[in-house]
Amino acid sequence: MIDPELSSTPYQGAMSKPAPRGPACDYPTAWQVNMSETIATSPVSSQTRWAAVSCIVIASIASALHVGKATIAIPWLQQEFDASMALLSWVMSAFPMVGVFGGIIAGVLVRNWGDRRLLLLGLLILGIASIAGAQAPSFAWLLGTRFIEGLGFMIVVVAAPALLNRVTSEDRHNMVFGLWSTFMAGGIALSMLFGPMLGGWRGNWYLTGGLVLAAALSLSVFVKQDKGIPQESSGQRLLPALRQVLGAWSTHALALGFTSYNILFFALMAFLPSFLMQRLGISVAAAGLISAAIVAANILGNLGAGRLLSQGLRPGWLVAATAAAMGCMGAGIFLDDMPATLVVVLCFAFSAVAGIMPATILATAPATAPIPSLAPLSIGWVVQGNYLGQVLGPLLIGTVVGAGGWSAAILLMLVVAIAGVALGLAFDRLDSAQKRER
């Protein structure tokens, strides 16, 4: 049941146009509930605003640099602060820990304040916190700024797709979201490639902070707030809105599918340099270079997803097929008797195929909302599932490998992959049922 008050509330940014239609995103009836007022008061993007799309993608990549910079900085931080590896791991874990609890809150803020405003705020928080962290006199100071960075990054990840959806025409939706979803792999790979060249972690913090602030400036210039989009929304409707979003089972399936993806992906990528050093007998520098290339291969899947969706493949089936492929290849990677060369080939294939899933999920998430005005909350909930997987992945693989060696990770890969397949198929059924009901 859709709340009549909510259905007449125009959406402040993320879905100011009707939901995307096409062979892969056929949602025409799902968005026809009291839409006359929404369409009348919110501008519809008849064509893709490529300058705005470019700014959003660049800003997202600049934000993802802050994820990868922590991995490169660990040796420098250990030397300067004499901290244990357990304590240093929080420099990396701060980002996903914030997102596990704050994704849907960020969605509420985007809905109430507007997507462009929140994206700018997230970029400013991220940049200022990074520059403040570069001046850290103690490890506690640095860790505190990392949590603030995580807050800014979480806002960016929720607001960016909302704004992107508003400035993209229906016929370019899948392609643009496939392009945008490359930001995480692109940012991490760039950090791994260029971070060691900066001569120390403080220079890395200053540079990435400056880049994200420059991206915010570019966004403020080239992405103007659309006229007719209200900047504030009544907080009195928040609880009914949350009930409607949390009552959409297709959104839950998509969020948990994102969790399964990140468990599989980060179970391999979190310790990939160490794994390659042991299996291949190579140096730290060589392992870092190969790892960066493997992470970058994820971009191929991101871009391919947009193509596959545009050709009519159903999102649920794409999620299921990708999870199955990741499980099989991940199990092969951790086989003890697998030739070293084939292990590297499988790592590249694993990363490339895996990229299909996040692009598919992020392109589909806005349309799972019961009505357009609730799209930011649905995106926030799905992103929360993403962060949950980022927390669980390294934790689970560390526990399993510590107990039974690298080969013990095979069972983890297969179990999580089966769960991902089930969630993809469940989403397909739930999504079809929602369309019929509407």
Between 55 and 173, the more confident residue is 55
Q: What amino acid is encoded at 150 in this protein?
A: G
pTM: 0.72
pLDDT tens by residue, 36-47:
222 222 344 557
And the tokens for 240? 């009914």
Confidence of residue 59 (pLDDT cuts 50, 70, 90): very high
Closest CA to 212 of 74, 55, 100: 55
pLDDT at 311 over 90: no
Closest CA to 20 of 4, 37, 43, 44: 44
Q: What is the pLDDT of residue 64?
A: 92
Q: In sequence order, what are the residues at sequence separation of 6 or more whose Cβ sits closer than 8 angstroms to the Cβ of residue 279?
A: 340, 343
Between 398 and 229, the more confident residue is 398
pLDDT tens by residue, 92-112:
777 778 878 777 788 778 877
DSSP code for 271 = T
Confidence of residue 34 (pLDDT cuts 50, 70, 90): very low
Between 10 and 251, the more confident residue is 251
pLDDT at 411 over 80: yes
Asked if 160 and 54 touch (Cβ cutoff 8 Å), the reply is: no
Asked if 183 and 295 touch (Cβ cutoff 8 Å), the reply is: no
Q: What is the pLDDT of residue 434?
A: 67
SS3 breakdown of the chain: % helix, strand, coil, rounded to 5? 80, 0, 20
Confidence of residue 271 (pLDDT cuts 50, 70, 90): confident
**Residue 293: C-alpha distances to residues 266, 273, 289, 297 (Å):** 15, 11, 6, 6
Mean pLDDT over residues 278-292, rounded?
A: 79
How many angstroms separate the CA atoms of 303 and 71, rounded?
25
Asked if 273 and 287 touch (Cβ cutoff 8 Å), the reply is: yes
Asked if 196 and 68 touch (Cβ cutoff 8 Å), the reply is: no
What percent of the chain stands above pLDDT 70?
Answer: 85
Mean pLDDT over residues 174-203, rounded?
A: 83
Roughly how many angstroms between the first and final C-alpha of the chain, as a whole number? 10
Q: What is the pLDDT of residue 437?
A: 65
Q: What is the pLDDT of residue 283?
A: 76
Q: What amino acid is encoded at 383 in this protein?
A: V
Q: What is the pLDDT of residue 284?
A: 67
And the tokens for 427? 């989403």
Mean pLDDT over residues 414-432, rounded?
A: 92
Mean pLDDT, the chain, integer: 80
Q: Which residue has the tokens 């860790």?
A: 143
